[in-house]
Each structure stands twice: as C-alpha cells, then as structure tokens.
Amino acid sequence: MTYSLHTLSATELLAGYKTKAFSPVEVMQDLLERASKVNPALNALVFINEEDARKSAAQSEARWLRGEPMGKLDGVPVTIKDSIAVNGMPMLRGNKANAGNPPSQYDSPPAMRVREAGGIMYAKTTMPDFGLLVSGVSSAYGITRNPWNTALNPGGSTAGGAAAAAALCGPLAVGSDIGGSVRFPAAMCGLVGLKPTQGRIPHLPPSPVRSAGPLARTAEDAGLLLDVLSGYDGRDYDALPPTNEVFSGLSAKPMKGVRILLVLEGDTGHLPEPAVAAAVRKAAKTFEAAGAIVDEAPSVVGGDFMEIVSIPLLLRGLAEFLKLSDSALEKTPSYFVESFTKAKELGADKIALAFDSIEAVKTRVLNQMVGYDFLISPVSGMSGFPAEATRPSVSESTPIYTPVWNQTGNPATSICCGFDSSNGMPIGLQIVGHRFDDLGVLQLSRAYEDIRGFEMNWPTPV
C-alpha cells in the first residue's frame, strides 16, 4: 500500500471495501491514529467514541465479507456537528452551561440517515455557542484552529467539522447552515460544502432557513452524503417530498451554453479583498473557457441587508436566551448576553420592517437569476481571521455573500478556487442554483474540480 487510508475519499473507501483491498477495521484504526496526531493542534473533534467506532467497524467488515453492505455509507467514518442529536452522545451546542446535560436519547434525522446507511459516527465536532458565530471559539470547547494555518480561524459555525475533514480526520462531515455555517467554514478550510434547497434534508428542530448539509473534500463525496441525508421526514414541516434524483456517482456538468452570473459585490455593497476577487474572477474565466456564458452584474441585495437579516437571527437567539437559568447565564459569554439584552429592546415596528425588507430582497435576487442557470460569487470577502477572534473585524467582514440564500432557499455550494499567498489560506467560490437544482449545483462543482487547474494538497497540522 503506497497511500494512507485516511487520505482516501468516501467513494474510494467504498470501492476498496467492495474489492477487499482493505477493511473498515483497518480504516478506523488508521483514522483514529490520524485524529490522535492532529486533533491536539486543532481542537476540532470532541466526544470521540473509540470503543463504539471499533465495534461498528468490525460489524461493517463482517457485512462486506458476506457481500451484504447495509447501505451507501457502510463502514465510512462520519463526523457530526455538536448541535445535531446523536443517540447516546452528548450535545452541548457549544455552550459550557450544557456540560452536565445527559446524552441525547434519540437520533436527529441526519444522524438517523447516516446510521441507517451504515456510516460510523465516530466523533462530534466543535461549534461556537448556540451556532451563532462565524468562528470556532466557544465557551464549551475553547478555540478550534484551521489546519491550513493554525494561527487562523476555521470559520463557523460548523468549525470542527470543516477543520477535521480538511485535516484528513474523516472524509465526510455533517454540519448545519442558517446563514453560511456550512459554506463559510468549507471556504476557510478548502472543502466542498453544500447548503441544499431548503427542506431537502430534514432537520430538528424544524426551521424555515436552517438546513443540515454535507462537507467533504470532493463534490462526489458531498453528493454521496446528500443522497443519504435527503428525503421526507414528517417531523420537519419544511421537508420536501421524495425525489427520484440520485446525487451520488456525480458526473461533471457539460459547460457548453451554461449561463452563469458573476456577482463580486457582497451583501453589504462592498467588494472582496483583492486576492479573493482575483481568484473568483479566474474561476469565472475558467468556466468561460470551458464553454459557459458568463455575465457580471452588481449585487441587488442592498447595503443594509446584514443589519436587516440579523434581526430574525437575534430573535432566534433571544428565544434560547430567555430559557437559560441564572447559573447557565453565568457560563454564557458576555458578548451573547449583551446582544440578547439589546434584542429584548427591539420594537415591533423595527421587526416588522425587517421582515418586509427581507421579502423584498428575496424577490430582487430571484429576479436577478432569471435567465441564468447559476450565480457565482465569493463565499467570503476575506481569506482568514485570527483563531482567537469570535468574528472577523469590521473591515474584514464587510463583504458577506451567504445569508441571502438561506432566506430564498436556493441550493449553494462552496468550493476552493485558489489560495491567498499572504497566509496560505484557501479561497471559496460560491455556486448558487435555482431551487431544487441541488444536482446541478453539485455537477457544476464537480466540473469545476476538473478544470480549476490545481490539486488539493491537504495539510497535516502538528
């Protein structure tokens, strides 16, 4: 064997199991050794369930030897975000006040689907308190670091999932996205991260703007995990009906005649950093050279969108804040307490106007996409910020590109389109499709992997 098993994609692992080139037991052993080597530098993985993981790997090995795999992920290691309930595993949601809570007594829909498909959920991954930051800092776990540059942040809120996948601690991660929490850390860590069409992946508690989503090192693997996670579940009022589409085994989308709209201006009306703009423009030129038709247009979101969309997010956080006991409040970071206290003072008039403005923005961006198959933009206007920071500085965070698509429900991926030479960090390209065209978004991401002109040399942080 001239390769390490932890470097293989989920698709490659499944092919190896089928041919008996290696077994799930060998893969799990190699992966646990990898995690013990790199996780101390990252602080990405928590609640590593080594005993159960080894037992599940042995059971999977027996099924493969009989030629009877139980599902599409049989024997594949998967990490899962702390906010997603997994039967028998703790769920702190990044908040130290939850440290004494008993383990979850049920599987959320994403965890249930992974388990039924034979995936091995060997660890949970870190996230900021309540999932309300774009950072890897939390009161429960401390600082999670980026494997490409451990002085910098992996992004959030699926911080640990992104860092672990990029550091080769498992080929697949399940995260969730309410404003960019899959796509932003995917961009910061060089991964493919998908926020699917709203309702494609059932989730608990249900939400009209939050979705679970896959993170992986390849578009093909992201499609494989979407195949497993998607499908109707009556517990989620937003869940879509079953579809006959198959997201695994992705083929690259032919480029000829595909119409793409490039938007470099962010949701706040500002342009990205030069390195980000250059990488995204190069990606647009790459699509054009492959036969696509690419036009550029300014953003129609509006410069005050982030202020507006933060109001319903603050209200969501306020609802959780009001349920906290006095002892829990003492363990909650002061910046959350201050924000939620201010949220209590929001008047009905400001809230009503915010929701009205959001509806107007949704109409404008969807109208802008008419006549185009896809829209591309940066995922983030900057390529990195300090690991210790709870959020980027004001100057760094001005260009925002992800939250509007949670509001419209459109599918959107992040995929690496280059690197910032100043800090070694990956740069994420966002590919947005029309609602229900998750397959098209993944196929375009798959096509871009073939034509972007560079290989991903994944880091080993120590």
Q: Same structural domain for residues 384 and 277?
A: yes
Query: How confident is the model over 51-71, as pLDDT tens digits?
Result: 999 999 999 999 999 999 999
Q: Exposed, middle or buried, 29 (CB in 10 Å: 0-12/13-18/19+)? A: middle
pLDDT at position 394:
57
The 10s digit of each residue's pLDDT in 332-368 is 898 888 888 888 889 999 999 999 999 999 999 999 9
Structural domain containing residue 186: 7-229
Give the domain-ending residue among 349, 375, 404: 349
In a domain, 179, yes or no: yes
Show Cβ contacts of residue 304 under 8 Å, excluding neighbours closer than 6 positions. 357
| Termini Cα distance of the chain | 24
Whether residue 457 is contained in a domain is answered as no
pTM over 0.85: yes
Let me know whether 342 and 219 are in one domain: no
Rg (CA), the chain: 21
Place of tokens 């939050």: 210
For residue 403, is it within any domain? yes
Per-residue confidence (pLDDT) for residue 316, from 0 to 100: 81
Based on the fold, state whether residues 332 and 427 are members of the same structural domain: no
Residues 342 and 393 in one domain: no
**Is 391 within 8 Å of 157 (Cβ atoms)?**
no
Say if residue 412 is in the same domain as residue 277. yes
155 and 108: one domain? Answer: yes
Q: Nearest CA to 90 among 57, 46, 142, 52?
A: 46
Determine the pLDDT at residue 314: 86
Same domain (yes/no): 41, 188? yes
100 and 200 both lie in a single domain: yes
Ranges of the chain whose pLDDT falls below 70: 1-2, 394-398
Q: Are residues 283 and 389 in the same domain?
A: yes
Count of structural domains, the chain: 3
Residues 290 and 331 both lie in one domain? no
Q: Check residue 397 and give its pLDDT.
A: 46
pLDDT tens per residue, range 251-281: 999 999 999 999 998 877 788 999 999 999 9
Q: Is residue 19 located within the same domain as residue 157?
A: yes
Q: Are residues 64 and 161 in the same domain?
A: yes
